[in-house]
Homo-oligomer: A and B are copies of this chain.
Amino acid sequence: MQSWRDNLRRVTPYVPGEQPDKKKVIKLNANENPYPPAPAVMKAREKIRHLRRYPDPTASSLVRAIAGYHGLKESQVFVGVGSDDVLALSFLTFFNSDKAICFPDITYSFYDVWADLFRIPYEQKALDERFHIRVEDYYPENGGVIFPNPNAPTGILMPLSRIRDLLDHNRDVVVIIDEAYIDFGGTSALPLIDEYDNLLIVRTFSKSRSMAGVRIGYALGSEDLIRGLNDVKGSFNSYTMNQPSLVLGEASLKEESYFRDTLRKIIETREWLKEELLRLGFCFPDSKANFVFASHSRVPARDIFEAARKKDIYVRYFDRPRIDQYLRITVGTREEMELFVDFLEDYLFNINTGKF
């Protein structure tokens, strides 16, 4: 007999990331910002009103604020429920060729998932041995290109000259640059959207703006690209951004000095962390993100990961080819990172002396 279970969509079961419940953990595993959002955001909570009404389907107040912030037209801004929502919708909107889209083999883990979801053919291009994107791999004809800059989980930034090279070889497809981590010291490709009407820049409020809990992502690009996103989104879901996210997102954009201070602190802590990691025998690509992707010269990454967890310090370990000797360590507060470095010192010393 047939069963409804036969028609259930088959997916790889989801394993949620560790969300430790204890209060006193040091959580360096999700690239969250260690500082709270701007005080204006918390104050804006009282402006959350009119909840009985559907929210503005065009999210115009937030779109206007983002456009103003970046000096763009409102018609060049699209907002969504986190950059995951914006990126998935971009796949659906722009990647409808029979040719394979291209992205790095080591990169954000949802690209292949969305490609599978929307039945988009794809090719993963291997990073070089230093984890750099080889721009030449993206020269041949393809169905579109997407990569994060800085790349995740490596933190490596691609300079504008190479991005321009990639764009010059890809004028006929949409190129998406996922700039989730760009605020932590990278040079954005945003100025290039005037020159390349096929370039879409995707950003998020989750990292640099300390608002992962509010789910706001956005895309910037030519008016034609943004119209495409709006048309497709509107065709199947009118109301995605809720009223609270519109209010809180707008408030965040008004406190530039707080935002800059937070970024500066994270960047300073990251650079200090790099020195400490070097001293302790780690190597890592030069990260321009709010994490460091580090490998120890002698001690297996998994061992360090597990030992840290026993001390209530959570970092990220990926049991995947090529990167299974690396830990992705989110840059927390200076205090958190000092505790992490103290742990590493103890742990590595005890290993050397055979105490473990």
Q: Hey, which bits of chain A sit against chain B, CB under 8 A?
A: 1-9, 11-14, 16-17, 19, 27, 30, 32-37, 41-42, 45-46, 48, 50-58, 81-82, 84-85, 88, 92-97, 110, 113-114, 117, 143-144, 172-174, 198, 206, 210-215, 224, 228, 230-245, 248
On chain B, the residues within 8 Å of A239 by CB distance are 82, 84, 212, 215
Which of B1, B19, B52, B198 is A33 in contact with, Cβ under 8 Å? Answer: B52
What's the Cα separation between A325 and B9 when bound, in Å?
A: 41
Given A8-B94, A94-B8, A52 and B238 touching (CB < 8 A)?
no
Which of B55, B92, B97, B213 is A53 in contact with, Cβ under 8 Å? Answer: B213
On chain B, the residues within 8 Å of A172 by CB distance are 1-4
Given A7-B144, A53-B32, A95-B7, A214 and B232 touching (CB < 8 A)?
no
Distance between A135 CB and nearest chain B CB, rounded to angstroms: 19
B211→A51 contact, CB < 8 A:
yes
On chain B, the residues within 8 Å of A174 by CB distance are 4, 7
Distance between A186 CB and nearest chain B CB, rounded to angstroms: 21
Distance between A346 CB and nearest chain B CB, rounded to angstroms: 28
On chain B, the residues within 8 Å of A37 by CB distance are 51-52
Given A55-B215, A238-B14, A173 and B7 touching (CB < 8 A)?
yes
Residue from the set A4, A30, A95, A211 with the largest chain B CB neighbour count within 10 Å: A4
B41→A51 contact, CB < 8 A:
yes
Given A36-B52, A45-B45, A94-B4, A242 and B245 touching (CB < 8 A)?
yes
On chain B, the residues within 8 Å of A113 by CB distance are 235-236
What's the Cα separation between A215 and B214 when bound, in Å?
A: 13
Q: Which residue of B lies closest to A212 (CB)?
A: B54
What's the Cα separation between A206 and B55 when bound, in Å?
A: 11
Given A32-B52, A45-B46, A242-B244, A84 and B237 touching (CB < 8 A)?
yes
Residue from the set A1, A52, A243 with the largest chain B CB neighbour count within 10 Å: A52
Given A232-B9, A236-B113, A212 and B51 touching (CB < 8 A)?
yes
What's the Cα separation between A16 and B211 when bound, in Å?
A: 29
Given A46-B45, A57-B16, A198-B4, A244 and B214 touching (CB < 8 A)?
yes
Residue from the set A3, A9, A82, A92 with the largest chain B CB neighbour count within 10 Å: A9
What's the Cα separation between A7 and B176 when bound, in Å?
A: 14
Distance between A279 CB and nearest chain B CB, rounded to angstroms: 29
Given A94-B7, A144-B7, A231 and B14 touching (CB < 8 A)?
yes
A210→B52 contact, CB < 8 A:
yes
On chain B, the residues within 8 Å of A32 by CB distance are 52-54
Distance between A17 CB and nearest chain B CB, rounded to angstroms: 8
- Of the A-B pairs whose beta carbons lie under 8 Å apart in the complex, a sample of 22, sorted by A's number, is A3-B172, A4-B144, A4-B172, A4-B174, A4-B198, A6-B97, A7-B95, A11-B232, A17-B238, A37-B51, A41-B51, A50-B213, A52-B210, A52-B213, A53-B212, A54-B206, A54-B213, A84-B239, A110-B236, A113-B235, A117-B235, A215-B240
Given A3-B172, A172-B1, A239-B82, A92 and B52 touching (CB < 8 A)?
no
What's the Cα separation between A106 and B185 when bound, in Å?
A: 54
On chain B, the residues within 8 Å of A236 by CB distance are 88, 110, 113-114, 117
